[in-house]
C-alpha cells in the first residue's frame, strides 16, 4: 500500500461521526481546557500538528510551517489527506507566533502539542481561544504520536474512535515490517546529523524519531543516551566518530551542503569506522528532503511512508557484508 493510498484510507476511517462527547475536558501541561461544543475553526500552532488533523479528516483554518515551504505546509506524505479534507489554511512560519494573525482567524480551538510553550505563550493563546497543548509527563520532543492523535481526536470530535482506528492500522503496518525484517532485532543504531557547528548531533532514546527506530527493533546505544541533555539532544565531537560506530546509523540529509553525504564521507575519521567500511550508514538524501522531514514529524502519515521505505534500507545496512549496497532512499511511487 503506497502512502497516498493509506492517507486516503485514514481519512475514510476518520469520516464524520456524531459529536456526542461534548463538552470534553482535556488535561495538559498547563492545566485543563474544556471544549463546550464541536470546534469549527481550528488553528494548529504546533510544528507537526497539522499532519494529525489531516489524518483525522479535520480541516484547520491555520497551521504552522515547521520547514519545507510546501503549499499549506503539507509535505508529500500529507498532501493527499489535506486535499481530502478540503483544507486551504492560513500558514504561519518562523519561530515566533503571530498572535494578532492567529486571533484574526477567529478560532474556537487552538492546538499546540508540538509547540512546547512557556506560561506566557500559553496565556496569550488562551486569551484568544481554548488551547490544548502538551499532555503532562513527557519530555520535550517526546510526546508519542499515539497520544497526540488521541488528544486531537478527543478535542475535535468528542471521542477517540477515529484515533484508535488509525493506531490499529499503523500497528498492523509496523508489525508487518518487524516480521519482514527480523534481522533488525537487537542491532544498535539511531539517527545522527552533521551540524553547522561541526558536531555530530543526535537525539536521545525519548525522542519520537528514536522511538520509531526502536519499534523496528533497533537498540539505542546506552553510552550515547547517557550524554543526553534535558531537551534530549546529544552532541558528539567530530573526533569521536567511534561513539557512533554502531550496527547502523541513519543520516537525514536536508539538502544543505554543510551536512551532505559527500562532506561526511570525505572525513578521514569517518572512513576508519565500520559504518564506512561495511556500508552501515543509511543516507536519507532524497532530492526534496522529505524522508529526513518525515523522521522528525513522526505523524501517522509520515510514519506510514517511512515504514514503506526505511526497513529494507536498514536491513541492507546491518547485514555485515560490505558488498551489499544500501539502496537509494526514494519516496514511494504515487
CATH number, domain of 155, equals 3.40.50.1980
Residue 18 confidence (pLDDT): 35
Residue 1 confidence (pLDDT): 47
Nearest Cα residue to 101 out of 83, 88, 113, 89: 89
Q: Is residue 330 part of a domain?
A: no
31 shares its domain with 124: yes
Q: What's the number of domains the chain is made of?
A: 2
Q: Is residue 324 part of a domain?
A: no
Residue 257 confidence (pLDDT): 60
Residue 195 confidence (pLDDT): 87
107 shares its domain with 189: no
Phi, psi of 62 (to 5 degrees): -150, 140
Rounded to 5 degrees, what angle do the CA atoms 45, 46, 47 make?
Answer: 120
Q: Are 179 and 217 in contact (CB under 8 A)?
A: no
21 shares its domain with 154: yes
45 shares its domain with 74: yes
* Spans of the chain, pLDDT less than 70: 1-20, 254-258, 334
The number of beta carbons lying within 10 Å of the beta carbon of residue 329 is 20
User: For residue 53, is it left (φ>0), alpha (ψ between -120 and 50) or beta?
Assistant: alpha
Torsion angle (degrees, nearest 10) of CA 48, 137, 235, 259: -10
Q: Which residue has the cell 539517527?
A: 191
Q: What span, in angstroms and rounded, lies between the C-alpha atoms of 207 and 296?
A: 9
Q: Is residue 298 part of a domain?
A: yes
Distance of CA 216 to the CA centre of its chain: 15
Q: What span, in angstroms and rounded, lies between the C-alpha atoms of 251 and 262?
A: 12
Q: Residue 224's domain spans which residues?
A: 185-317
- Among 142, 171, 200, the domain boundary falls at 171
207 shares its domain with 74: no
Supply the angle between the helices 161-180 and 3-13 in degrees, to the nearest 10: 150
Run of H or E residues at 251: strand 248-252
154 shares its domain with 267: no
Q: Is residue 121 part of a domain?
A: yes
Buried b (16+ CB within 10 A) or exposed e, 23-59: ebebebbbeebebeebbeebbbbbbbbbbbbbbbbbb
85 shares its domain with 155: yes
Residue 85 confidence (pLDDT): 97
Q: Is residue 163 part of a domain?
A: yes
- Write out the three cell numbers for 180: 519482514
Collapsed DSSP state (helix, strand, coil) of residue 31: strand
159 shares its domain with 195: no
24 shares its domain with 154: yes
Q: Is residue 332 part of a domain?
A: no
Phi, psi of 203 (to 5 degrees): -125, 140
143 shares its domain with 63: yes
Cis ω before 16 (30° cut-off from 0):
no
Residue 258 confidence (pLDDT): 64
Q: Is residue 178 part of a domain?
A: no
Nearest Cα residue to 51 out of 63, 40, 61: 63
116 shares its domain with 166: yes
Q: Are 115 and 47 in contact (CB under 8 A)?
A: yes
Residue 328 confidence (pLDDT): 83
90 shares its domain with 20: yes
Residue 334 confidence (pLDDT): 64
Q: Is residue 327 part of a domain?
A: no
Amino acid at each position: 500500500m503506497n502512502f497516498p493510498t493509506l492517507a486516503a484510507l485514514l481519512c475514510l476511517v476518520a469520516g464524520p461521526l456524531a459529536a456526542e462527547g461534548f463538552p470534553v475536558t482535556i488535561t495538559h501541561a498547563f492545566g485543563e481546557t474544556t471544549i463546550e461544543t464541536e470546534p469549527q475553526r481550528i488553528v494548529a500552532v504546533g510544528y507537526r500538528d497539522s499532519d494529525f488533523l489531516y489524518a483525522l479528516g479535520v480541516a484547520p483554518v491555520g497551521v504552522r510551517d515547521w520547514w519545507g515551504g510546501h503549499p499549506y505546509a503539507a509535505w508529500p506524505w500529507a498532501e493527499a489527506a489535506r486535499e481530502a479534507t478540503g483544507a486551504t489554511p492560513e500558514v504561519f512560519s518562523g519561530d515566533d507566533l503571530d498572535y494578532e494573525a492567529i486571533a484574526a482567524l477567529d478560532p474556537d480551538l487552538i492546538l499546540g502539542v508540538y509547540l512546547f510553550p512557556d506560561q506566557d505563550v500559553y496565556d496569550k493563546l488562551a486569551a484568544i481561544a481554548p488551547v490544548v497543548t502538551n499532555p503532562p509527563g513527557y519530555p520535550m520532543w517526546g510526546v508519542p504520536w499515539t497520544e497526540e492523535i488521541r488528544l486531537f481526536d478527543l478535542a475535535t470530535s468528542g471521542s477517540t474512535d477515529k484515533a484508535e482506528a488509525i493506531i490499529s492500522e499503523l500497528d498492523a503496518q509496523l508489525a508487518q515490517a518487524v516480521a519482514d525484517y527480523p534481522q533488525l532485532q537487537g542491532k544498535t543504531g539511531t539517527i545522527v546529523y552533521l551540524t553547522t557547528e561541526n558536531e555530530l548531533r543526535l537525539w536521545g532514546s525519548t525522542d519520537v524519531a528514536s522511538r520509531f527506530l526502536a519499534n523496528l527493533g533497533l537498540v539505542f546505544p546506552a553510552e550515547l543516551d547517557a550524554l543526553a541533555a534535558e531537551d534530549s539532544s546529544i552532541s558528539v565531537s567530530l573526533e569521536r566518530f567511534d561513539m557512533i560506530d554502531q550496527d547502523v546509523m541513519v543520516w537525514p540529509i536536508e539538502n544543505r551542503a554543510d551536512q551532505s553525504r559527500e562532506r561526511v564521507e570525505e572525513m578521514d575519521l569517518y572512513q576508519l569506522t565500520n559504518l564506512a567500511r561495511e556500508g552501515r550508514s543509511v543516507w536519507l538524501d532524497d532530492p526534496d528532503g522529505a524522508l529526513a522531514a518525515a523522521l522528525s514529524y513522526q505523524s501517522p502519515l509520515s510514519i506510514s511512508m517511512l515504514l514503506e521505505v526505511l526497513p529494507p534500507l536498514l536491513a541492507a545496512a546491518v547485514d555485515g557484508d560490505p558488498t551489499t549496497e544500501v539502496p537509494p532512499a526514494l519516496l514511494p511511487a504515487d
